[in-house]
Amino acid sequence: MITLYDLLLQDDRRASPYCWRIKHVLKHKGLAWRDEPVGFTEKEKIAFAQSNTVPVLHDGQTVVKDSWAIARHLDAAYPDKKLFPDEAALAYAQFVAGWVDTAVQPALFPIIVGDLYGRVRKEDQPYFAETRGKRLGTTDFAGFQAKARDKGVPAFRAVLEPARRMLRERPFLGGTQPAYPDFALIGAFLWARVASPLELLEADDPVAAWRERMLDLHDGMGRKAKAA
């Protein structure tokens, strides 16, 4: 039995980009799992894994924290439909995941933070305000977001340029089939979709067409998730 500890927002919304990566990996491999929702202030639920963050995966006797470690564990434990068949695939996936972590998600955060705060569970809002307020230097998240959008939306689109160049020539970052790089990037878009009604992309952007393909995967798993 696999249990995935997943971040819980208001009205059962699930926004965590890192958890979305793992849900895509589980579906890709055809694995069933039990979902365990964790609010921002319910750290006791993941203390057994010595983790402060989700995703945490409990797979039989094995406990794994951190999305990259979880993806590697699942690929080793369930070798069907390999994500990382060789060192080149592993290296490419690690690079794209690192780019999403350090460039794509940081470019998204300022332009959705007000909407995200509005969807955090009421009981978790003081925690979010304290932790994210320190990062941004303000707890007026709506005001911060409004100011950030003018420059922030074009800046976010510019960050996507490497993916756009790839997707002009092939349907997925993985080539003809979706792979871990696609799961990492769609995680960021699902975070935004669940948290905010802001349209991030121009209609004719190849990244927008790719996003539609990704939302259709696995019987529309991403598309069916409660959006903002």
Ligand X SMILES: N[C@@H](CCC(=O)N[C@@H](CS)C(=O)NCC(=O)O)C(=O)O
Point out which residues bind ligand X (CB under 6 A): 7, 16-18, 40, 52-55, 66-68, 131
Nearer to ligand X, 52 or 62 (CB): 52
Q: What is the radius of gyration, based on Cα positions, of the chain?
A: 17
Nearer to ligand X, 105 or 145 (CB): 105
3-state secondary structure of 87: helix
Burial class (CB in 10 A: 0-12, 13-18, 19+), 90: middle
Nearest distance in Å: CB 68, ligand X: 6
Nearest distance in Å: CB 113, ligand X: 13
Nearest distance in Å: CB 51, ligand X: 8
Give the largest CA-CA distance in the chain. Answer: 49
Instruction: Mention every residue, 6+ apart, whose C-beta is less than 8 A from residue 157.
Output: 200, 201, 202, 205
Nearer to ligand X, 20 or 206 (CB): 20
Nearer to ligand X, 54 or 111 (CB): 54
Helix (H) / strand (E) containing 157: helix 141-159
Nearest distance in Å: CB 67, ligand X: 3
